[in-house]
Structure 1
Amino acid sequence: MRDFGVGFRYLLKGQRWVARHGRSYGFGMLPGLITLVLYAAALVALAWWGEDAVAWATPFADDWSSPWLGLFRGFLTVVLFALALLLAVVTFTAVTLLIGQPFYENLSEKVDRDVSPDGHAPESGLSLGRELWISARDSLRIVVRAALWGVLLFACGFVPVAGQTVVPVIGVFVTGFFLTEELTAVALQRRRVELRTRLGLLRSRKTLVWGFGTPLAAAFLVPFVAVFLMPGAVAGATLMARDLLGEEIREDGEEDDGAVTAAPRPPSGWPSPGR
């Protein structure tokens, strides 16, 4: 459980970092606000026209007698909206990171320079267009994985008792893992760490990942919270990425007078920073 606490502390440290850097925090909120407006508009449109869409998709039920027609299509409308809401939660981070790639890259670099003993941040050496392409490609792969998990958990939700108790808890842990992958990707992609290797790193420290991502996933269930927490989540994920790769972290001067701590070395075979 120690790693769980360490992961949670990285989340708190990220929030404290952006609190001390108000300008970075303000710019970091913009992508989340844009994504929130887009998603809210889409969900409102679905709530308004969802019943019509279900009626269009189920013409075979037009001749059904009352109340079966209303119950059937009403149920499908609720399921459609629930799936859309689940997909919105699962994809919110990926879409926000894609929209805010330049914002979060800049924020992550500032965090790296701030905590690096030599004051330097790793650079990918890639053009912005290439970075955006890699980010979009990897985000799509993660979204597909997360969506498959989401559909599976949604189906398991109909299991009596377990579906209303165990499944939601598992769902938060699964969402937390994928959230952490998306957020650490900002710093790890800059170090040219490929998706397969990133997933391997995270799976090797699952308790650390859950300590960071699970509280964040639970908080993101509250409307608007994701917008305010996203900049700090990116900052905290950058700190955790350094831990995963075994890079040194210079702690905040207010906490321990600028001490330098060596993060645990990653398992043999992981790429060194900057590769």
Structure 2
Amino acid sequence: MRDLGAGFHYLLKGQRWVARHGKQYGFGLIPGLITLVLYGAALAALANWGGDAVSWATPFSDDWSSPWRGLFRGFLTVVLFALALLLAVVTFTAVTLLVGQPFYENLSEKVDRDVSPDGTAPESGLPLWRELWISARDSLRIVIRAALWAVLLFALGFVPLVGQTVIPVIGFFVTGFFLTEELTAVALQRRGVDLRTRLRLLRARKTLIWGFGTPLGLSFLVPFVAVFLMPGAVAGATLMARELLGEETRDGDDESDDTDDADDADERTVSGGLGG
């Protein structure tokens, strides 16, 4: 139970961090907005033409009498849209992180520098195309795992009583685990931690992971909320990744706020010194 609270605390700390760093929060919204538009268009298309797709896929029911043909195809259309919606929730984070790789890498590095005792952040040393390839490959593996879980839980949902009570709760915990894996991957991949090792780290601290990811997954069910929480979720996941690896972290909650203008001035000073 203590780890559950600690996981939720990291989620809140991440939101507070981006609230104190307005520029990072603004840039972090861009990938989520792009992904939201793409997913919205896809779901709208499915809602519009899903019935036609089901009719095309079930020619054997063309000769069924009314109302059985309509009920059967209507049920399949609802199931198709429900599966698409579930898949959208599960994959939204992965796609957003892939679209916003440069944005979230930059945000995660700034969080590391802000809370690191020596003010440094680990760097992968890989070119951007290589980082994108690794991120896409690992995200696909996670999406496949999550999709298998989604199909299993959807099937178990038809079990009387259990399917309407226990299975939805399990589903939220599973979703929270995979969401957290995707979010912590931003910081862990930069440290050279591969997917198998990441999963082992997360499984060893399941309650901490659930405390972070489960409430986040629940909030993602509310339209548009995912977009606005993503920057803070990346920041919080970076802080939690440091604990998973046992890295020393300076608590910056009570520090004076670093303004974006001050950060820009520091960068110009460093650049000027190098140029001189």
TM-score by length of 1: 0.92
User: What secondary structure does 1:249 align onto?
Assistant: coil
The amino acid of 2:243's aligned partner reads D
CA drift at 1:95: 0.3
**Separation of aligned partners in 2, 1:136 and 1:34:** 17
**Separation of aligned partners in 2, 1:22 and 1:117:** 23
CA drift at 1:165: 1.1
1:159 lines up with 2:120 in the alignment: no
Identity across matched positions, percent: 84
CA drift at 1:189: 0.2
**Separation of aligned partners in 1, 2:81 and 2:183:** 27
Root-mean-square deviation over aligned CA pairs: 1.0
**Separation of aligned partners in 2, 1:254 and 1:239:** 16
Runs of 4+ in structure 1 off by over 3 angstroms are none
The amino acid of 1:68's aligned partner reads W
2:226 corresponds in structure 1 to 226
1:10 lines up with 2:10 in the alignment: yes
Quick one: structure 1 residues 255 and 118, their matched pair in 2 at CA, closer, same or farther if it must change by over 3 Å? closer
> Which runs of 5 or more residues in structure 2 are unaligned?
257-276
**Separation of aligned partners in 2, 1:91 and 1:108:** 20
CA drift at 1:135: 0.1
1:124-273 alignment, distance < 5 Å = 124-252=124-252, 254=254
2:56 corresponds in structure 1 to 56
2:40 corresponds in structure 1 to 40
The Cα offsets for residues 35-69 of structure 1, whole Å up to 9 and x where unpaired, read as 11100110010000000000000111111111111
Aligned residue pairs: how many? 256
**Separation of aligned partners in 1, 2:208 and 2:13:** 14
The Cα offsets for residues 82-109 of structure 1, whole Å up to 9 and x where unpaired, read as 0000110110000000000000000000
Greater shift in the superposed pair: 187-196 or 247-256: 247-256
1:87 corresponds in structure 2 to 87
Q: Which has the higher contact order (CA 8 A, sep 6+)?
A: 2
The amino acid of 1:105's aligned partner reads E
> Which runs of 5 or more residues in structure 1 are unaligned?
257-275
2:264 corresponds in structure 1 to none
TM-score by length of 2: 0.91
The amino acid of 1:54's aligned partner reads V
**Separation of aligned partners in 2, 1:120 and 1:253:** 18
